[in-house]
Amino acid sequence: MPTSNALKYFSAPNLAGVEGLVHGFLTRVGGVSGTPFSSLNSGKAGDEVNAGGSEKAGGNMAALEKAFNIPANSLFTMKQVHGSTVLVVNGTILRNNKRKPEADGVITVETGLPIGVLTADCMPILLFDPVARAVGAVHAGWRGVVSGVIQVAVEAMRGEYAASPGRILAAIGPHIGPCCYCVKEDLFEKFTR
């Protein structure tokens, strides 16, 4: 497991070593948040405000930016709503957008535009077409999976950037598994259909 400035993360073997592509699935190790968010809480909901008046989650985001050499406040994330909306982003859209849009996926071809999703037990999925140089990040909870968010992201990459589904490399990050998450029969049936 690689470490960068005390942050530990996983990298996907099929995406590692791709020139110009920086990626990682962060762990909770290396942040500044205390219990119950210990310790790398990158979401802001519920994390305490420290004595200086800034949210600890903001300090965690600053650590992430430093570790991956990302310019301050440039990581694009969205207000995730467990749906199937996928955004196409570029720098102009980001500069003109004052509020986080609601979506569960984001794609771009713009070099130097960091994108990401925040997860707890949902699946983070990274997508990359090495020919089209299109990248995507998808937040895939069960509602999003049932509503087709992964297919929507792949189709958006094909439609916007001429990415080929056969070329797209995918990496699924750490998420909850069958050891810790049971579902009722009706939800199971949604997936089998």
Q: How many CA atoms does the CB half-sphere of 190 hold within 13 Å?
A: 11
140 three-state secondary structure: strand
107 three-state secondary structure: strand
| 44-77 residue pLDDT tens | 444 444 433 344 445 677 777 777 888 877 888 8
Confidence grade of residue 155 (pLDDT, cut at 50, 70, 90) = very high
Residues of the chain with CATH 3.60.140.10: 76-193
Q: Are 78 and 102 in contact (CB under 8 A)?
A: yes
CATH class of 76-193: alpha beta
| 101-116 residue pLDDT tens | 999 999 999 998 999 9
108 three-state secondary structure: strand
Q: 54: which DSSP letter?
A: S
d(CA 72, CA 61): 9
